Amino acid sequence: MDISVIIPLYNEAESLPELTKWIQRVMRDNNYTYEIIFINDGSTDNSWEVIEELNRNDESIHGIKFRRNYGKSPALYCGFDRAKGDVVITMDADLQDSPDEIPALYNMITKEGYDLVSGYKKKRYDPLSKTIPTKLFNATARLVSGIKNLHDFNCGLKAYRNEVVKSIEVYGDMHRYIPYLAKNAGYSKIGEHVVRHQARKYGSSKFGISRFFHGYLDLISLWFLSHFSYRPMHIFGLWGSLVFLIGFISAIILGANKLYALAEGIPYRLVTDSPYFHISLTMMIIGTQLFLTGFIAELISRTSQERNKYNIAKEI
């Protein structure tokens, strides 16, 4: 099979028939063998009934129905798990992503050798309240991930080699960082393709400003996991030892000053009356806690089934 199209959706019943016909036309014009996988993420409208009707008319259309709304990442995870096409295309169900972009994305994967191609909505039809935070978010994501050539990490229109989607785990709200997940899994040939952004035709946007705050927290988590998930002691142990050492040396200096004053007969206050003593003691406690945190994290990592799970490219 050439292409699997994965479409997560939430309350998009009106757009599904039009989107399906559009995808079918593109596939027919290019002689692609394909499947369309709709993931109904707990919709409260009649989206599932529409998907069932579409399936009765075309066996290449499949559907997954969640009992409640879980989010886009779990929907993509289920779609990736079931995708059979050599190239996997993801897109939103609101008609803002154009299926006419599929052939270009497909060719970049199959002919130009990309592992992943992300769409770039260079000209957007969103309000400033969404476009400005989006630019800041993408700039931060480029800086942290090191993927300098991507301008739109959160674009729903992406193409992947099937091997890529089977090698990454999308959870929580990590769908925003699938290129970063792919890079961490060893798929470094990541490209970008400028795509057309269309104004929403039906329904209302599910966008909320809280997504940006969650997105930054997820980005920090992903950065930490990508660097220290297999060696947590390297960060907790290092900083714990450093903080403890500074506190210990400070305490030694305070004690040495006290002893010197006593030897010289110089009046000197109690060491415990000095604020520096309490700062030193606090630093030693914090340093010990950090070191123990790294030690416990190392024990957990050592017993994890994922500890020695590596992405092998080839074997002969």
- Whether residue 259 sits in one domain with residue 184: no
* Domain end position, chosen among 227, 262, 293: 227
- The reply to whether 159 and 248 lie within a common domain is no
Geometric angle at alpha carbon 124, from 30 and 193, rounded to 5°: 40
- What is the pLDDT, as a whole number, of residue 112? 95
- Same domain for 283 and 172: no
> Does 309 reside within a domain?
no
Whether 157 is covered by a domain: the verdict is yes
**Residue partners of 305: CB distance under 8 A and separation at least 6:** none
- Check residue 234 and give its pLDDT: 78
- CATH label of the domain that carries residue 198: 3.90.550.10
Token duo for residue 276: 């520096």
Last residue of a domain, which of 164, 197, 227? Answer: 227
Whether the CB-CB separation of 19 and 95 falls below 8 Å is answered with: yes
pLDDT (tens digit, 0 to 9) for every residue of the chain, 316 residues total?
A: 999 999 999 999 999 999 999 999 999 999 999 999 999 999 999 999 999 999 999 989 999 999 999 989 999 999 999 999 999 999 999 888 999 999 999 999 999 999 999 999 887 766 666 677 778 888 888 888 889 889 888 888 999 999 999 999 888 788 888 999 999 888 989 999 999 877 666 666 655 555 666 666 777 777 777 767 667 787 888 889 999 999 999 989 888 887 877 777 777 777 777 888 889 999 999 999 988 888 887 777 666 555 555 556 666 6
Q: Residue 297's domain spans which residues?
A: 233-303
Residues 67, 19 share a domain: yes
Instruction: Please give the model's pTM, rounded to 2 decimal places.
Output: 0.75
Tokens of 256: 């040495």
**Domain end: 193, 227, 261, which one?**
227
Q: Where are the alpha helices (DSSP H) in 229-304?
A: 233-264, 275-303
Say if residue 42 is in the same domain as residue 26: yes
Domain check: are 53 and 168 in the same one?
yes
Residues 180 and 246 in one domain: no
Q: Domain total for the chain?
A: 2
Shared-domain flag, residues 53 and 94: yes
User: Tell me, what's the pLDDT at 146?
Assistant: 87
Indicate whether 135 and 105 sit together in one domain.
Answer: yes
Assess if residue 314 is contained within a domain. Answer: no
Pairing of strands 87-90, 158-161: antiparallel
Domain identity same for 42 and 102: yes
Residues 6+ apart with CB under 8 A from 250: 276, 279, 280, 283
